[in-house]
């Protein structure tokens, strides 16, 4: 689609540009549903963390880590993506965390595995 748009813009063919956009409008609309499903999955994940008394900030840390290491990949315009942008995900997770206060209980086994992951990451750099 981007190739058609680029060529149509260069040659100034507005009708071809309009046709390409209209042809792909349904696809673009379906991406919105996909993003909604991804957001719903994030929210269910937060509820699972809450049920197990796991600090939900770990999900924010995960998305921040992904954003820091994506270096621009996956940061395209959200309306052409199947997933919400990482910044959007971080934002709505933080909003949820403000409204859903609950005691988080530290998990020794989860902390152990998290430390192992961090060590592997440090050793790979």
What proportion of the chain, given as a percentage, has pLDDT over 90? 13
Q: Note the pLDDT of residue 40.
A: 92
C-alpha triplet 85, 86, 89: angle, nearest 5°: 90
pLDDT for residue 2: 58
Displacement of CA 45 from its chain's centroid (Å): 13
79 Cβ neighbours under 8 A, 6+ residues apart: 28, 31, 32
What per-residue confidence (pLDDT) applies to 124? 81
116 token code pair: 């192992």
Rounded to the nearest 5 percent, the helix, strand and coil shares of the chain are 75, 0, 25
pTM of the model: 0.57
Instruction: Give domain limits for the chain.
Output: 27-124
- State pLDDT tens for residues 42-73: 999 998 888 888 888 888 999 898 888 876 65
């Amino acid at each position: 689609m981007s190739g058609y748009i680029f060529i149509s813009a260069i040659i100034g063919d507005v009708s071809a540009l309009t046709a390409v956009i209209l042809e792909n409008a349904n696809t673009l609309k379906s991406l919105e549903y996909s993003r909604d499903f991804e957001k719903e999955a994030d929210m269910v994940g937060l509820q699972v963390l809450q049920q197990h008394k796991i600090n939900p900030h770990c999900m924010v840390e995960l998305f921040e880590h992904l954003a820091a290491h994506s270096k621009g990949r996956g940061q395209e315009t959200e309306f052409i993506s199947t997933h919400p942008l990482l910044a959007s995900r971080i934002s709505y997770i933080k909003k949820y965390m403000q409204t859903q206060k609950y005691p988080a209980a530290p998990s020794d086994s989860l902390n152990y595995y998290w430390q192992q992951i961090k060590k592997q990451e440090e050793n790979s750099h």
